[in-house]
Structure 1
Amino acid sequence: MKQGIHPDYDTIKATCTCGNVIETRSTLKGELHLDVCSACHPFYTGQQKVVDTGGRIDKFKQRFGAVRRSK
């Protein structure tokens, strides 16, 4: 590696909106503010919501009609 051309790789604190603080290493200066983290994201906490996509599709077909094309 060449000396003096690489950015500094220091320890920073990443703070989530839920209050969780994570210490990590980065080339960024200062603190990092996150919207979600593994402590509050629904995928990791097991509090996922099931979206009713079938109802949305039926509602769309009722509004705009199903168009069938003949060959």
Structure 2
Amino acid sequence: MKTSIHPDYTDVTVNCSCGNQFVTRSTMSKDTFHIEVCSSCHPFYTGKQKIVDTAGRVDKFNQKFGSFFKR
């Protein structure tokens, strides 16, 4: 590697709005970083995800293509 052309790679504390806090490494110049959603509070990762079915589209899709996914 060439010297003095790469950014500094330092520890950054990430604070989520849910209260979760973790440390990662980044080239950011900040020591702390605030995010709104993390893996501890995002519905996809917590298992609380809801599928919003608009006009029966999910059922229509499952009727048309559901046999492809069954084993």
What is the TM-score of this pair, normalised by structure 1?
0.72
Identical positions, percent: 59
What is the TM-score of this pair, normalised by structure 2?
0.72
SS at match of 2:44: helix
Q: Which residue is equivalent to 2:52?
A: 51
Q: Structure 1: which 5+ runs fail to align?
A: 57-71
Question: How many residues are aligned here?
Answer: 56
Q: Which residue is equivalent to 1:33?
A: 34
Runs (4+) of structure 1 moved beyond 4 Å? Answer: none
Rg bigger for which structure? 1
Equivalents in 2 of 1:39, 1:13: separation in Å? 16
